[in-house]
């Protein structure tokens, strides 16, 4: 694989937004309604929302294959005292899934947060999302379930956890 992974800057927001436009709907069409997908995209992935997330402490990583952006991840501190970090996002273009890039990104996030002092990395996955198996294969286990209101909709998630 000819790839690079680097920390995103504010100037990368259009690239993250474009990737999200290509990834978001195919990722969630089997578990969420089109209305919920559209609503959540507007809440999370507009350039303004992405900028706010960066300014509030989310670190975004961009993955490139042959200089073409193919995916992104984001992480932040969840509980500094308990040394818990959260993987807020991890997405790949659909045609790049199943080729080892997801494992590469999640491992990179784990290494980065561990270097920052993390003992645990949490992530949320929709209870009906087939990506749950990917996370289990990467060593994550169900920690709890939570239902998160987003506007008029709910995200019904597992919180998965890995001790680093």
Task: Specify which residues 142 forms β-bridges with.
Answer: 160
- DSSP letters, 88-115, are EEEEE-GGGTTTTHHHHHHHHHHHHHHH
Element (H, E) at 156: strand 153-163
Range 3-163 classified under CATH 3.30.930.10 = no
CA distances from 44 to 19, 37, 73, 157, 163 (A): 13, 10, 13, 17, 28
Instruction: Note down pLDDT in tens along the chain; length 164 residues.
Output: 689 999 999 999 999 999 999 999 998 998 999 999 999 999 999 999 999 999 999 999 999 999 999 999 999 999 999 999 999 999 999 999 999 999 999 999 999 999 999 999 999 999 999 999 999 999 999 999 999 999 999 999 999 999 99
- Confidence at residue 11, expressed as pLDDT on a 0 to 100 scale: 98
- The pTM (predicted TM-score) of the whole model is 0.95
CB 97 within 8 A of CB 106: no
Determine the Cα–Cα distance for residues 88 and 123; give it in Å rounded to an integer: 6
Domain boundaries, given as residue ranges, for the chain: 3-163
């Amino acid at each position: 694989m000819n790839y690079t992974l680097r920390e995103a800057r504010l100037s990368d927001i259009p690239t993250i937004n474009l990737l999200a436009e290509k990834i978001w709907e195919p990722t969630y069409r089997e578990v969420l309604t089109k209305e919920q997908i559209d609503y959540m995209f507007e809440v999370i992935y507009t350039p303004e929302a992405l900028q706010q997330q960066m300014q509030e402490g989310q670190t975004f990583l961009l993955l490139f294959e042959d200089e073409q952006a193919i995916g992104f991840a984001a992480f932040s501190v969840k509980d500094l005292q308990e040394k818990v970090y959260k993987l807020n996002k991890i997405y790949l273009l659909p045609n790049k899934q199943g080729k080892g890039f997801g494992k590469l990104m999640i491992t990179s996030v784990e290494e980065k947060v561990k270097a920052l002092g993390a003992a645990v990395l949490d992530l949320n996955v929709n209870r009906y999302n087939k990506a749950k198996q990917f996370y289990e294969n990467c060593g994550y286990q169900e920690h709890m379930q939570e239902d998160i209101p987003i506007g008029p909709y709910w995200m019904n998630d597992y919180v998965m956890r890995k001790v680093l």
